[in-house]
């Protein structure tokens, strides 16, 4: 399993200054735009490491003596050419979330791409001893990643101040784990556990909500603000997921997993519905090898129903995890849903989900590796397909290599800037919205 690799820190121009003066252009003073070289320039290799993408409260302080630009439009124009030749633009948005998204649109490309990365640390997985050095987590945070995933045996990281320190400011780091309950849950290592979903599925929804809220508060105490749970998969043969599923009945899954999601959100933890479009009736476990579900027409009568209902009831307050699943009648042969543009379009256009879509893990899952897809290819294909964040186990050097690859993909036209900006807007909106209120996520 994953071992932190040796790494070289790359410089990424922080969006802190740009973001603060777009948000504050209406009144408070803010610093002038940074003139730092974008990451990847010839001069960046000897510069000092950039800070994380979070925006500390001090950035918005009125104590700065620098004079802000008269309007946001002037700021944007000055980065693209002489201000006198810039065409008139609309006033800066008054909605703070929209203003934050607009500011992020001015970031250097590498900074945008970093925000779409979800780096996973999973050293303690299975019987593998040890835990990730917090300095490796700090390095990827400093590189500007949008999120980190902490595996359930990473006790050292759960107890490290590195993750909680990255929660401050307008754009907190997303810190995720698998807090499902039962055998897939970190909290037996650090706090009170929950039983598996199949057992909780027999509870009254209010009891589930209260238990999930307490569980979410325990997660928040360890800096977690995104839970890759609950499952919306139906139980059923050949049963690759076991007691991780809530029920075989779509209405029961909607009610019970929905109560769990509401409780998480109340604790300030964004829930994630997985594994779209439904892994419960697949032929094998996608963790181990490529998995095939029933055909799309069959899924639409049952497995897809909880995803449709839950993404509507939790609109703006949840993520969806896309599965590495072959779906006859939907996916291209040999290409899992998570990497398939047509299948991702179904999620957006037919299911109607317009929030953050994050992939299932891309570096170690058999459903990817046994197809012979290298990690850099998988990450690129996932973003091109329509995911907003790519989840993969790795370290600082892996991140640097993949960002290099993605920058080249944009330069070559394989990954469009429009697709990058669409994904970035969803990630920034989630972070800045405060839709699930809690420390570091209140906007």
Which sequence positions are flagged as catalytic? 281, 360
Closest CA to 74 of 64, 66, 84: 84
Cα 404 to Cα 39: distance, rounded to the nearest angstrom: 10
Tokens of 277: 């479009």
* Strands across the sheet containing 319-322: 357-359, 319-322, 270-276, 226-227, 174-177, 147-150, 117-121, 390-393
For 277, which DSSP code? Answer: T
Tokens of 169: 């400011």
Cβ-contact 423, 117 below 8 angstroms: no
Alpha helix positions (H), 226-294: 250-266
Tell which phi-psi region holds residue 352, choosing left (phi > 0), alpha (psi between -120 and 50) or beta: left
What does the buried/exposed string (b/e) look like for 306-335 if buried means 16 or more CB atoms within 10 Å of the residue's CB?
A: bbbbbbeebeebbbbbbbbbbbeebbeeeb
Tokens of 65: 């003596």
Cα 337 to chain centroid, rounded: 18
Cα 421 to Cα 408: distance, rounded to the nearest angstrom: 16
What does the buried/exposed string (b/e) look like for 341-375 if buried means 16 or more CB atoms within 10 Å of the residue's CB?
A: eebbebbeeebebebbbbbbbbbbbbbbbebebeb
Cβ-contact 389, 420 below 8 angstroms: no
Residue with tokens 């979903």: 197
Cα 329 to Cα 300: distance, rounded to the nearest angstrom: 11
Cα 62 to Cα 60: distance, rounded to the nearest angstrom: 6
């Amino acid at each position: 399993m994953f071992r932190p690799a040796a790494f070289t820190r790359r410089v990424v121009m922080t969006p802190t200054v740009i973001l603060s003066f777009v948000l504050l252009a209406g009144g408070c003073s803010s610093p002038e735009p940074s003139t730092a070289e974008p990451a990847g320039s010839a001069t960046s290799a000897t510069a000092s490491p950039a800070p994380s993408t979070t925006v500390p409260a001090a950035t918005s302080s009125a104590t700065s003596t620098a004079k802000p630009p008269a309007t946001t439009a002037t700021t944007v124009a000055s980065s693209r050419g002489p201000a006198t030749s810039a065409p008139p633009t609309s006033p800066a948005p008054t909605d703070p979330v929209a203003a934050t998204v607009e500011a992020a649109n001015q970031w250097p490309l590498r900074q945008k791409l970093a925000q779409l990365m979800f780096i996973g640390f999973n050293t303690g997985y299975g019987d593998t001893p040890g835990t990730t050095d917090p300095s490796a987590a700090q390095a990827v945070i400093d590189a500007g990643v949008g999120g980190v995933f902490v595996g359930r045996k990473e006790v050292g990281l759960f107890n490290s101040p590195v993750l909680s320190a990255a929660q401050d400011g307008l754009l907190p780091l997303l810190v995720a784990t698998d807090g499902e309950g039962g055998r897939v849950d970190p909290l037996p290592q650090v706090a009170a556990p929950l039983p598996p979903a199949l057992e909780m599925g027999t509870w009254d929804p209010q009891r589930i909500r209260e238990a999930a809220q307490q569980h979410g508060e325990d997660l928040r105490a360890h800096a977690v603000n995104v839970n890759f749970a609950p499952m919306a998969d139906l139980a059923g043969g050949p049963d690759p997921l076991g007691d991780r599923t809530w029920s075989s009945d779509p209405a029961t899954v909607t009610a019970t997993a929905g109560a769990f999601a509401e409780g998480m959100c109340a604790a300030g933890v964004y829930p994630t519905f997985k594994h779209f479009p439904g892994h419960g009736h697949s032929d094998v476990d996608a963790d181990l090898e490529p998995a095939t579900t029933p055909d799309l027409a069959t899924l639409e009568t049952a497995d897809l129903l909880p995803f449709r209902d839950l993404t509507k009831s939790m609109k703006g307050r949840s993520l969806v995890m896309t599965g590495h699943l072959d779906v006859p009648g939907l996916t291209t042969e040999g290409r899992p849903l998570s990497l398939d543009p047509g299948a991702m379009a179904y999620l957006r256009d037919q299911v109607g989900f317009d929030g953050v879509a994050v992939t299932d893990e891309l570096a170690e899952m058999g459903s990817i590796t046994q197809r012979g897809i290298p990690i850099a290819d998988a990450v690129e294909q996932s973003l091109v397909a329509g995911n907003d964040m790519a989840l993969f186990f790795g370290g600082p050097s892996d991140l640097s290599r993949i960002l290099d690859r993605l920058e080249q993909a944009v330069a070559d036209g394989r990954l469009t800037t429009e697709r990058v900006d669409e994904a970035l807007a969803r990630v920034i909106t989630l972070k800045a919205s405060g839709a699930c209120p809690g420390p570091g996520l209140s906007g």
